[in-house]
Structure 1
Amino acid sequence: MTAPASEHSGLLGTQGMRAAVTGIGVVAPGGVGTEAWWSAMLRGQRAIGPVTRFDATGYSAGLAGEITGFDDAAHVPDKLLPQTDRVTRLALTAATEALTTAHLDPAALPDYAMGVVTAGGAGGFEFGQRELQALWSKGSRHVGAYQSFAWFYAANSGQISIRHKLRGPSGVVVSEQAGGLDAVAQARRQLRKGGHAVLTGGFDATVCPWGFTAHLAAGGMSTSRDPARAYLPFSADACGHVVGEGGALLVLEDSDVAHARGARVLATVEGCAATFDPAPGRGAPRLADAARLALADADIAAADVDVVFADAAGGRDADRAEAAALTELFGPYGVPVTAPKSLTGRLGAGGSALDLAAALLALRDQVIPPTARAGPLADDCPVDLVTGAARPAGLRHALVLARGRGGFNAAALVRGAPR
């Protein structure tokens, strides 16, 4: 299990190596597959609604961003179905798409040249819940052997590496919502050490009774039953967030290797950084520091950032803190800001990976996806929030921000491929 990047890790030894994104795989609320999901985001299609995966009538929160139209058996071999949680099946599907869109056959690479680094904040929660229910109600003889690993945070990395024979340096990052960006930072370090390619990103799936119980205990969930009002980041009416499931995986390659094989480069990851907040009452949050470090790693000035994909927690205090960080970096209303996760819910480790995928596609298509219409913008959140409809824009650099419970902050700066 790999620890998240230190606050200065994105600044060490990056010269001479550029990390190119050549493939994307997405399974998320709004669409199974990258283009289906992206189309829904550009339309501003809200994928948040009443929970259908279990009976949530007894819970104070009843909405979620669920993935619909996903047929497990159509995407995952029969032999893997009994030994995998839903989150691993989603991740396996995204891995196949990412490799396919990258036109990359791992078997064509030298041995140990490609690994996999994923992030997961919860592991196989639903699988674990079922097995524990069997233990409590029926006894240990009714607990399957697959419980020994299907619940574990590393299950996604392990199953992906086995299925695609990715025997290079691999790992898993656990830093909640920040995990998707921290995994990409770790993958970038593996390339710097001489790897050719890494499959990286994040997935979580906790829309189950055990998951909802944990989320409610942690606080911050919206108890609104109105999908149009439940998750409104930076709004004066913000009342918490909605949980979602899914995420995204990217194929990250050494740019020289990618160009040598004639790959289409979607964008390059130019800067990564992470910081940690001090204990409560012992200092200010450090999200702005993470952004500054990522910009320094990329050798990019704040004035060169064309769009920010915000963490957008949906709570008044958290939104105010993020708006203050953005104002500190860019000035009031200084850069377009968007939060497409307001259409899908917060996906745990999958959320920042999905935001990174959205940033790459925004650079490709020169358009900023909208935030769910948020009603009145809060007076203490002076950000140029893109709402209502996608906004065409000339985009070269995108900054993606993420925060995880426990004080994790992460930032990544991506540059679009030359047009």
Structure 2
Amino acid sequence: MSATGVRVAVTGLGVIAPNGLGTEAYWAATRKGSSGIGRITRFVPDGYPSQLAGEVDGFDAAEHLPGRLLPQTDRMTQMALVAADWAFEDAAVRPGELPEFEMGVITASSSGGFEFGQRELQALWSKGSRYVSAYQSFAWFYAVNSGQISIRNGMRGPSGVVVSDQAGGLDAVAQARRQIRKGTRLVMSGAVDASICPWGWVAQMASNRLSTSRDPERAYLPFDPAAAGHVAGEGGALLVLEEMEQARARGARRIYGEIAGYGSTLDPRPGSGRPPGLRKAVELALADAGAEPRDIDVVFADAAAIPGLDRIEAETITEVFGPRAVPVTAPKTMTGRLYSGAAPLDLAAAFLSMRDGVIPPSIGVSSAPEHGLDLVVGQERTATVRSALVIARGHGGFNSAVVVRAA
């Protein structure tokens, strides 16, 4: 079988989200439409125009990780390490029992360890350089999650990090699929992001895409006539990827499905007159999966909640699938946009939709009629889901799409 014909399975999920710690807690809350969005508590947000976020509540790294790791890791890395542990447990994989050069880690990041970096800069300014942690040299870095996961689990195979904002989570999984097809036995992939701190907040606000609403139920409204920006969040998902037949041969506890197709594009320069690249990314993903539009049972939308970007995404969906021809959902309305962690969380939701025969809802929104979307709103919808499309777009014009399929 050629490398491109190798099927890549997902055998484990590790989820940390604002509306649920752990895969099943997240999924139960998402199916019920329970939101994790609220007023920021990790710092006092009074002086900022945007004051809402999807914060992960109840996460105590000391309950899950060795004490020696706590002073050298940012919050996002602590959550990523725990999500990786949960994904391995779900996959019934003990990494210590596998050859270390046959396991890799490929994650995405949009900000790195902002909260750690802010704390050390404050120490520098207020106390002096002697009080800056030596761990600052790597705890802030985009690649730190990949590095710490690989060190903790003895994974010395092909590894890396992708930096392309929201699209990065899908790009990382696609790179992991490439490595599996080249012969790597197992790759941990996905993303966990967290930068809800003053420094990180100012950086996010620079995009001019954050909602300034103070109402958690009406702040993040993708495809809605009242759409006026997104709510940021923290968390994400990590996935265990293996070659399909190998996973079956080892007696994997569960095969959620496969990463069947991937496409990515970059939008043209503003003012060039050329069309956006999102439709091409979707078409590339479908072609890579050998799928027709009619094969897709649900679309997990990027859901920018910026009117112009919503229009582009809605046009892409209706042009590829037809008006109201495929159910569309945006469960990130319950978590906020988790940056690089958002799309892997949507991948997890897509696999769980296949498992349970339901499409999770988008909450708080009413789809504008002109978009022509069959948006699943209010409550979950029972459906047979065999294949799903996940869309993600990053600031700066990155577009990515992944087709996932039941095994």
TM-score by length of structure 1 reads: 0.95
Q: Tell me if structure 1 keeps the 8 A contact 2:31–2:361.
A: yes
Matched, 1:318 2:309: yes
Structure 1 segments, 4+ long, off by >3 Å, are none
For residues 297 and 125 of structure 2, what CA distance do their matches in structure 1 show? 53
How many residue pairs match? The answer is 404
| 2:146 aligned partner | 157
Q: Distance in 2 between matches of 1:107 and 1:145?
A: 29
Which residues in structure 2 correspond to 1:53-68 (within 5 Å)? Answer: 53-68=42-57
Identify which of 244, 259, 275 aligns with 2:265.
275
In structure 2, what is the Cα distance between the partners aligned to 1:88 and 1:110? 24
2:340 is aligned, of 349, 355, 366, to 349
Structure 1 residue 242 corresponds to structure 2 residue 234: no
2:358 paired residue number = 367
2:6 paired residue among 2, 9, 17: 17
Task: Give, in whole Å, the separation in 2 of the partners of 1:64 and 1:183.
Answer: 25
Partner residue of 2:124 out of 122, 129, 135 = 135
**Following the alignment from structure 2 to structure 1, what is the Cα–Cα distance between the partners of residues 100 and 137?**
29
What is the aligned partner in structure 1 of residue 202 from structure 2?
A: 213
Find out whether 1:170 has 2:159 as its counterpart. yes
SS of the residue corresponding to residue 190 of structure 2 reads: strand
Could you say which residue in structure 1 is the equivalent of 2:318?
A: 327
Separation of aligned partners in 2, 1:256 and 1:110 = 18
- Secondary structure of the residue that 2:42 maps to in structure 1? coil
The code of the aligned residue for 1:221 comes to: L
Post-superposition CA distance 1:15-46 (Å, at most 9, x none): 33000000000011111100001100000001
Shift of 1:111: 3.6
Aligned partner of 1:7 in structure 2 is none
Q: Tell me the distance in 2 between the aligned counterparts of 1:278 and 1:141.
A: 47
Distance 2:359 2:278 in 1: 22
| 1:167 Cα deviation from its structure 2 partner | 1.1
Are the equivalent residues in 1 in contact too, given 2:10–2:255 (CA < 8 A)?
A: yes
Q: Could you give the per-residue CA deviations for residues 210-243 of structure 1, whole angstroms, max 9, x where no partner exists?
A: 1111111111100000001100110001111000
Does 1:121 pair with 2:110? Answer: yes
1:188 paired to 2:183 = no
Residues of 2 paired with 1:404 and 1:306: CA distance?
24
1:107 counterpart letter in structure 2? G
Deviation, structure 1 residue 380? 2.7
Deviation, 1:14, is 4.8
Aligned to 1:393: 383
Q: Which amino acid aligns with 1:239?
A: A
**Aligned mates of 2:130, 2:370 — CA distance in 1:** 57
Equivalent-residue separation in structure 1 for 2:45 and 2:361 (angstroms): 29
Q: Distance in 2 between matches of 1:26 and 1:366?
A: 20
Residue 308 of structure 1 corresponds to 299
What SS class does the counterpart of residue 118 from structure 1 fall into? strand
* Partners of 1:257 and 1:416 in 2: CA distance: 17
Q: Deviations over 1:50-102 (max 9, x none)?
A: 00000000000000000001111001210000000000000001000000000
Which residue of 2 is the match for residue 384 of structure 1? 374
Q: Residues 51-130 of structure 1: matches in 2 within 5 Å? A: 51-130=40-119
- After superposition, the Cα gap between the structure-2 partners of 1:228 and 1:111, relative to the gap in structure 1 and judged at 3 Å, is closer
SS at match of 1:24: strand
Counterpart of 1:30 in structure 2 is 19
| C-alpha separation in 2, matches of 1:199 and 1:127 | 24
Give the counterpart letter for 1:271 in structure 2: G
Q: How many angstroms does 1:107 deviate by? A: 2.5
Q: What amino acid is aligned across from residue 61 of structure 1 in structure 2? A: S
For the Cα contact (< 8 Å) 2:106–2:187, is it kept in 1? yes
Q: Distance in 2 between matches of 1:41 and 1:336?
A: 17
Aligned residue for 1:411, secondary structure, equals strand
Q: Is the partner of 2:5 in helix, strand or coil?
A: coil
Give distance in 2, aligned partners of 1:14 and 1:257.
14
Deviates more, 1:383-392 or 1:134-143: 134-143
Q: Which amino acid aligns with 2:155?
A: L
Q: Which runs of 5+ in 1 are unaligned?
A: 1-12
Quote the Cα distance in structure 2 between the aligned partners of 1:165 and 1:352: 26
1:257 and 1:53, CA in 2 relative to 1: closer, same or farther beyond 3 A? Answer: same
Q: Distance in 2 between matches of 1:320 and 1:309?
A: 16
**Equivalent-residue separation in structure 2 for 1:289 and 1:216 (angstroms):** 29
Q: Which runs of 5+ in 2 are unaligned?
A: none
What's the offset of the Cα at 1:409?
A: 0.4
SS of the residue 1:317 aligns to: helix
CA distance in 2, matches of 1:109, 1:145: 32
Q: Which moved more, 1:235-244 or 1:109-118?
A: 109-118
The separation in 2 between residues aligned to 1:111 and 1:85, in whole angstroms, is 25
Residue 8 of structure 1 corresponds to none
Alpha-carbon distance in 1 for matches of 2:132, 2:370: 52
Partners of 1:14 and 1:42 in 2: how far apart?
37
CA distance in 2, matches of 1:219, 1:19: 38
Query: Aligned letter for 1:117?
Result: I
Cα shift at 1:110: 2.7
